[in-house]
Amino acid sequence: MEWLGHASINFIHCPDPLPLKTKEGKTTDLLTICEESTPPCRLNPLLFNGHLQTMWTVMKFAGPPVFYKRKIFDAEDPTYHGTFAVDFVVEPYTDTDDTLPIRTTYFNEQEFDGIASLDSKPMLVALHGLAGGSYEIYLRHVLHPLIQQEAGWEACVINSRGCANHKITSSILYNARATWDCRQTVKWLRKKFPNRPLYGIGFSLGANILTNYIGEEGSACMLKAAVVISSPWNLDASNHALQRSWIGKEVYSKTMGRNMVRLVKLHAEEIGKNPKIDMEAIDKVKYLHELDRAVQGPTWGYPTEGAYYRDASSVDSMLAARIPLFAINAADDPIANKEALPYEEMKQNPYAVMCTTSLGGHLSWFEIGGGRWHAKPAINFLNNMLKLDLETESISVDKADSVTARFDPMRRRWNYHA
């Protein structure tokens, strides 16, 4: 237990962090930017460990108001056919739609046809956690302050298929490697807003997906920088850690498993069309790993949930990142367990820095008064990225490239495009 909620902060990084320059020509580096972006971590002393912090998330506070309008996209890649929903942050309105989450309606055709712009506002692309959506409070604590600032941030949230009241139109849900909808969205944004610098943020499973996307894109990534919060990183290690304790298995794994079963049953009509999935077996699922065994394995051809976890983990993908990447994790996170964090890998890639706090739980970091500490370093980092010249050719990749010269971190056992 930390004294009165005062958490200690550590930074794990490469000995030679990525050199950077401000738009005024001053030299700095990624570690300095991350350190300057991170305020002291002062959390609610009554929530004095990771379990209390994480369990407090069941309290349904209103959180900051963010208004969205939704667009349904058709997947371009036939391998992942179906539709997915992207929610765009918009100005407040009074309309309501009972079929969608709170403060969310659909774009009408005329509105969406006129969405393209040549403005140079920074734009954030967000990915939520397991079975969540754009309505999540932890996500809105980051988006709301950004869109209120003078920098004029724009933002959108990519909802995982079937989440946030999106009705799927194929038997394909999503998994921890589901980078295809993110890739299509980023390409679409680049076309519609050619002058906007694009940035990314991911939470929990969305952080894992975002890191996998960044690794897959490598030096061609269209995002300027990204933040990943409470990422589970090594899914196999996280799974074993959950099953090792009673509270991990009977509380966290069971809760996540129940949420995913509910999601699958909500879309049973479409998912049931996949002959590889036994819907009756899903009725017997109690834990998250059992759900992954029943759904993700058969859907994608993984022989076991362990094979899926090892293949979908982002711990190696981080080594292929070629944009500034700021990771924020709590060492007492009972879901993204500290033994799954990429301590040694972070030391090998100058493009990445990981900040760990001794308190915070999973997607929690509750402060006195209801604030969420994780929003502060994330917002500060994104705003600090706007002050940098990320277009110059002076960014060195020698260290990163030497690590991946003979080891390909993105060589997966299952190739989606085979």
Structure token pair of residue 214: 């960044």
State the catalytic residue, choosing from 141, 166, 362, 374: 362
Distance CA 311, CA 235 (A): 9
Torsion of CA 310, 313, 317, 319, to 10 degrees: -80
The H or E element containing residue 129 is none
Structure token pair of residue 315: 């711990």
Distance CA 21, CA 268 (A): 52
DSSP state of 196: P
Query: Looking at the DSSP assignment, which residues form a beta bridge with residue 227?
Result: 201, 326
- Residue 362 a catalytic site member: yes
- Residue 333 a catalytic site member: yes
State the catalytic residue, choosing from 204, 231, 313, 317: 204
Q: Which of 131, 17, 105, 107 is nearest to 363 (CA)?
A: 131
Distance CA 364, CA 362 (A): 5
Q: Which of 272, 233, 222, 185 is nearest to 352 (CA)?
A: 233
State the catalytic residue, choosing from 230, 333, 364, 374: 333
Rg (CA), the chain: 20
Active site positions, annotated: 204, 333, 362
